[in-house]
Structure 1
Amino acid sequence: MKEGKVLKRQYTQEYKLESARLAQSVGINEAARRLGLPSATLGNWKRLLEKSAVLAGIRARAYQPGPQRPVSELEAENSRLRKELASARLDVEILGKATTYFSKGLR
């Protein structure tokens, strides 16, 4: 890949909608920080969501693809999954060190 060339990321419409909803509930900067997105990109998605809702004459909540879960519930699940991932990474690290230790003893 050439230097200076940035790959264009592509996101699904559902991801954009959910991200825009998160930005509406907690603010653009906070949502961008949580999702690891540029705040300008998230702001564009939020504006498009609001514009499409106004043009359709309905509230943005009508765009829900399925049952909506509260942000706090999603944050709790995210926290639980992060802890689980940290535990799994620790297990892998310990197994790697144990393998190295025991393989040195076989030589």
Structure 2
Amino acid sequence: MENVLMQVCREMHNLTKRQVARKLGIPATDYYDLETAKLAMTPVHGKALETLYNIKSHYFLEASGQLDQIRTLKEIIRQQKDELKRINALMEGGYELLHQDRQSKAS
């Protein structure tokens, strides 16, 4: 998942991720993790981006926060799907037991 605002700003200024990292004074891996929303953005990061791109820091922080919310919701959905699979497997097992019990009683 990309922080599209960071990506667009970087590309509009014809900068590489490594160049932006250098300008922000952070390791390139940290910048990559910020842009891909693997690392939570701090107000310090937001201010540094504001200075670099002349865009208010709250836009960068808001975009990062929204990506965190999306990631959380995706994880909740994944967990619910796993739980539904387990419930369906239990129900199928119960149906098979019930069906076998009825067949043995009919015999």
Interval of TM-score (by shorter of Structure 1 and Structure 2): 0.3 to 0.5
State the TM-score, normalized to the length of structure 2.
0.45
State the structure with more CA Rg.
2
More helix by share: 2
Higher relative contact order structure (alpha carbons within 8 Å, sequence separation ≥ 6): 2
State the TM-score, normalized to the length of structure 1.
0.45
